A = this chain, B = another copy of it.
Amino acid sequence: MFFQIIDILGTIAFAISGVLVALDKKMDPFGVLIIAFVTAVGGGTLRDVLIGQTPVSWMTNMTYVYVIFAATVFAVVFRNKINYLRKSLFLFDTIGIGLYTVVGIEKGLVAELHPIICIALGTMTACFGGVIRDILCNEIPVIFRKEIYATACILGGLTYFGLRELPILNNWVFVIAGAVVIIVRLIVVRFKISLPSLYKE
């Protein structure tokens, strides 16, 4: 129940971020809806396709469809006022990333994959909706240029597998690893930390 609420909040934040990019590109209503959808479920869809868990998860759970549709209509109607929600959206988004990372990791474990692959799947779940959104909008994915999410996801993933070695309940491993993703991202954004640049200024 608790995780389901987080999941829905994350889905809303992701969908709205898609709507804002699509509006910026002057897309029509159909395009806006598709971009919202892809941003929200794209990462999990790619993960499911790569590990062969099909039909992909949003096809068998109508909650996502309804939530994304409602969030899209909301964001389109109130787009001029959405700036006031920027802080809440950022928080939802960050919490969503934490949850998705751990969910992705656990799907990898169920498929009996190597921990490094599981961390890659977790990062993919959290980050690749945005990558597909940017490709559909004809942009170089923002995450490849100004990394914000991925390092947090990877650190959370390492935490997950570190904790699994300890005598801790699985639920706690889940919560703590997700919390690491969230806290790292909050710190990174708060203090404007970025990966070391590969280029001379």
Q: Could you mark each residue 111-124 of chain A with 1 if its beta carbon is under 8 Å from any beta carbon of chain B, else 0?
A: 10110110000000
Q: Are B28 and A146 in contact (CB under 8 A)?
A: yes
A116 to B37, CA, bound (A): 14
**Which of A22, A23, A34 gathers most chain B CB within 10 Å?**
A34
Please, which residues of chain B bring their CB within 8 A of the CB of A62? 114, 116-117
A85: interface (CB < 8 Å): no
**Which of A31, A56, A76 gathers most chain B CB within 10 Å?**
A31
A32: interface (CB < 8 Å): yes
Q: Are A197 and B28 in contact (CB under 8 A)?
A: yes
Mark A residues whose CB is within 8 Å of B: 22-23, 25-32, 34-35, 45, 49-52, 54-56, 59-60, 62, 65, 76, 111, 113-114, 116-117, 131, 135-141, 143-147, 150-151, 194-199
A158 to B34, CA, bound (A): 18
Please, which residues of chain B bring their CB within 8 A of the CB of A59? 50-51, 113-114, 117
Q: Are A136 and B136 in contact (CB under 8 A)?
A: no
A56 to B124, CA, bound (A): 15
Q: Which residue of B lies closest to A66 (CB)?
A: B116
Instruction: Enumerate the 4 nearest inter-chain pairs by beta-carbon distance, A residue then B residue, closest first.
Output: A52-B54, A31-B144, A30-B147, A51-B55
